[in-house]
Amino acid sequence: MNGKAYKVPVSTLVVIHDPQLNVLLLERADRPGFWQSVTGSQEPGESLEQTAAREVMEETGLDARGNLLTDWNLHQVYEIYPIWRHRYSPGTTHNTEHVFGLMVPARSPVRVSPAEHLGFLWLPVPEAAQKVFSWSNRQAIEMLPQRVPVKP
């Protein structure tokens, strides 16, 4: 392992949106032009909800615990892009991604982590779905209108 801790091949994808269904997208620092929702690997001993909340805080400065974080009970298994496989233990080629939604107030202040992201955008569902590079992220954004919690 060369003293390196490998990533766990289990992750969360969090579709952050406001009540009007504007979706928050982040531009990757390591891949300018690649836009995505918040995503990140689970750490040992963490629940999926804890992973989602931690990644949201690390990548945006938003507190998922103070907003409506919803487990969509949906997961996708996908092949890890070859350029990122070195982050995983040798021979690991696939990741299981669990999808969450997070509703935050409109115009919530976002603070991106400069080590991970260059900037952010809020876009309506159709535009956000077209802008992301990942098929699983696109699919999750397209599902958002059916996944928004109904207010009592």
pLDDT, residue 96, reads 97
Segment 103-109 shows an average pLDDT of: 94
Place of tokens 């999926």: 48
3-state helix, strand, coil in the chain (%, to 5): 30, 35, 35
pLDDT tens figures, 2-57 = 557 899 999 999 999 999 999 999 999 989 999 999 999 999 999 999 999 999 99
Segment 132-145 shows an average pLDDT of: 95
Segment 77-105 shows an average pLDDT of: 94
Bigger pLDDT: 134 vs 3: 134
Domain boundary assignment for the chain? 10-147
Q: What is the CATH number of domain 10-147?
A: 3.90.79.10
pLDDT, residue 3, reads 56
Backbone angles phi, psi at 49, to 5 degrees: -65, -40
